[in-house]
């Protein structure tokens, strides 16, 4: 089972989701079953580590995302992943705009797994530190929901 988190820059929300969800996978003992990656719609930050504020917020919860490196979403991802999980409607629209007729991935807003089918993880890039804490709260809840979902269908 391969999971790909997608946001705009791949330096704030999706690397945070990658770190949080990877820890949830480990806590559930599912490392052998689930692979986790993240990427961005845009290419501005390709090759960069996560935003310092995202790194610091994750570290406050015991999660080190400092080693992650941003990459851009690509058409191959539609066949490489089982789940493609965008953070907001803009990301979802951009992914749908590149979608081939036939592919492997299920595409869903990530917060659907937090019981919020219309929910968006707001972009914290231009806000304060509180935005990063809110992002992590949402991501933790959706990560629990996604683990539950995968365990139910597996
Ligand atoms: P992210 O946040 O999509 O959560 O990584 C952003 C980071 C950078 C930019 C936009 C959003 N940017 O425009 O550079």
DSSP 45-78: TTTPPPPHHHHHHHHHTT---TT----B--TTHH
pLDDT per position in the chain (154 positions), as tens? 999 999 999 999 999 999 999 999 999 999 999 999 999 999 999 999 999 999 999 999 999 999 999 999 999 999 999 999 999 999 999 999 999 999 999 999 999 999 999 999 999 999 888 899 999 999 999 999 999 999 998 7
CATH code: domain of residue 96: 3.40.50.2300
What are the tens digits of pLDDT across the range 93-116? Answer: 999 999 999 999 999 999 999 999
Sheet harboring 2-7: ordered strands across?
35-40, 2-7, 83-86, 106-107
For residues 71 and 46, give the distance between their C-alpha atoms in angstroms, rounded to a whole number. Answer: 5
Instruction: Give the domain extent around 145.
Output: 2-153
CB distance 3 to ligand 1 below 6 Å: no
Residue 113 pairs in a beta bridge with none
Token pair of 76, please?
């191959």
* Domains: count for the chain: 1
CB distance 54 to ligand 1 below 6 Å: no
CB distance 89 to ligand 1 below 6 Å: no
Active-site residues: which are they? 7, 13, 123
pTM of the model: 0.97
């Amino acid at each position: 089972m391969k999971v790909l988190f997608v946001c705009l820059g791949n330096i704030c929300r999706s690397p945070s989701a990658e770190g949080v969800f990877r820890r949830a996978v480990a806590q559930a003992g599912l490392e052998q079953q689930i692979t986790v990656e993240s990427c961005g719609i845009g290419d501005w930050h390709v090759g960069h580590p996560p935003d310092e504020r995202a790194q610091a917020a994750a570290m406050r919860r015991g999660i080190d995302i400092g080693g992650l490196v941003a990459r851009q979403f690509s058409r191959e991802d539609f066949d490489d992943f089982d789940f493609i999980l965008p953070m907001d409607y803009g990301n979802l629209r951009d992914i749908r705009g590149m979608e081939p007729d036939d592919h492997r991935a299920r595409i869903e807003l990530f917060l659907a797994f937090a019981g919020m089918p219309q929910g968006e993880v707001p972009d914290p890039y231009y806000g304060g530190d509180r935005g990063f804490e809110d992002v992590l709260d949402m991501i933790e809840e959706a990560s629990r929901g996604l683990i539950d979902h995968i365990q139910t269908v597996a």
